[in-house]
Amino acid sequence: MSQPKIKRRVGKYEVGRTIGEGTFAKVKFARNSETGEPVALKILDKEKVLKHKMAEQIKREIATMKLITHPNVVRIYEVMGSKTKIYIVLEFVTGGELFDKIVNHGRMREDEARRYFQQLINAVDYCHSRGVYHRDLKPENLLLDAYGNLKVSDFGLSALSQQVREDGLLHTTCGTPNYAAPEVLNDRGYDGATADLWSCGVILFVLLAGYLPFDDCNVMNLYKKVSIS
Ligand code: 3AM
């Protein structure tokens, strides 16, 4: 006789199937056992993300993200930790990724792109005004809800895998080169707000053109194309 399946639990959440896997995190479907509400559970390996010691700034940003609600930002409900893992409980977004639309249907009409871009800029402006930067805006962070509204995910979280050095500027060696600003790629330290806006510009280009403004299969050549633009 087969045993009844016992669901894994994290805090008050019953953990279900894996939704996807990113560079640093696994995302699983979960359900709040008290309310029945579905959530997305982002699971990060502590060892990987805390290699460089979690800066105070990042802790502050996560604390801030828990307080903010914006229609175009994926909500962070809570953050939990075990000995080896960090669990981030997020609003569950059902409409998939914005860029799947481009991949499947090509570039957008101007009025459609305008609507998404306005939602993106509203989200970015809101978070910046509260001292939270994204630093890694890219297609997989742009989700759509059931009504076709844009929801930016990972605000204030991407820095988990990055470093803040003593000069107060951010340094990174990861991220998506196609969407990253020149100063991010050159690792000279950068300002989170202007780096985010560069990425927004690249996103707008892709929405309207259906292809990347800077692209090369060779990463060194791609860096050059971004840097001399
Ligand atoms: O693996 P794919 O690309 O299908 O869309 C995100 C991505 O899907 C999804 O998890 C995968 C790894 O990032 N995802 C991330 N946050 C989510 C959320 N809040 C989410 N899906 C639903 N709700």
Do 42 and 127 lie in one domain? The reply is no
In this structure, the residue with its CA closest to atom 19 of ligand 1 is: 92
Can you spell out the DSSP letters for the chain? -PPPPPPEEETTEEEEEEEEE-SSEEEEEEEETTT--EEEEEEEEHHHHTTT---HHHHHHHHHHHH---TTBPPEEEEEE-SSEEEEEEE---S-BHHHHHHHH-SPPHHHHHHHHHHHHHHHHHHHHTT---S---GGGEEE-TTS-EEE--TTTGGGGSEE-TTS-EE-S-S-GGGS-HHHHTTS-B-HHHHHHHHHHHHHHHHHHSS-SS--SSHHHHHHHHHT-
Do 131 and 23 lie in one domain? The reply is no
Give residue 165's pLDDT band: very low, low, confident or very high (50, 70, 90): very low
**Who contacts 168 (Cβ-Cβ below 8 Å, separation ≥6)?**
none
Do 202 and 106 lie in one domain? The reply is yes
Do 65 and 168 lie in one domain? The reply is no
CATH number at residue 80: 3.30.200.20
Query: How many domains are there within the chain?
Result: 2
Averaged confidence pLDDT in the chain: 84
Indicate which residues carry an active-site annotation. 136
- Which residues face 44 on adjacent strands? 25, 86
In this structure, the residue with its CA closest to atom 4 of ligand 1 is: 20
Do 110 and 158 lie in one domain? The reply is yes
The reply to whether 138 sits in an annotated binding site is no
Do 32 and 104 lie in one domain? The reply is no
Q: Which residue has the higher pLDDT, 208 or 5?
A: 208
Do 43 and 123 lie in one domain? The reply is no
Residues 14, 31 contacting (CB under 8 angstroms): yes
Is the pLDDT assigned to residue 54 strictly greater than 50?
A: yes
Say what the pLDDT of residue 219 is. Answer: 86
Mutation probe of ligand 1 site: the residue of 19, 37, 72, 143 with most atoms within 8 A of C-beta: 19
Mutation probe of ligand 1 site: the residue of 24, 26, 27 with most atoms within 8 A of C-beta: 27
Do 105 and 193 lie in one domain? The reply is yes
Q: CB within 6 Å of ligand 1 — which residues? A: 19-22, 27, 40, 74, 90-93, 97, 140, 143, 153
Do 123 and 43 lie in one domain? The reply is no
Say what the pLDDT of residue 3 is. Answer: 63
Cα-to-centroid distance, 106 and ligand 1 (Å): 21
Look up the pTM and report it: 0.83
Residue 3 resides in a domain: no
Q: Which of 63, 91, 119 is the last residue of a domain?
A: 91
Do 118 and 183 lie in one domain? The reply is yes
Give 110-150 pLDDT, tens digit per residue: 999 999 999 999 999 999 998 888 888 987 789 999 999 99
Residue span of the structural domain in which 49 resides: 9-91
Say what the pLDDT of residue 58 is. Answer: 63
Residue 107 resides in a domain: yes
Give which of 174, 172, 182, 224 is closest to 202, Cα–Cα.
182
Do 85 and 103 lie in one domain? The reply is no
Q: Which of 38, 66, 91 is the last residue of a domain?
A: 91
Do 217 and 112 lie in one domain? The reply is yes
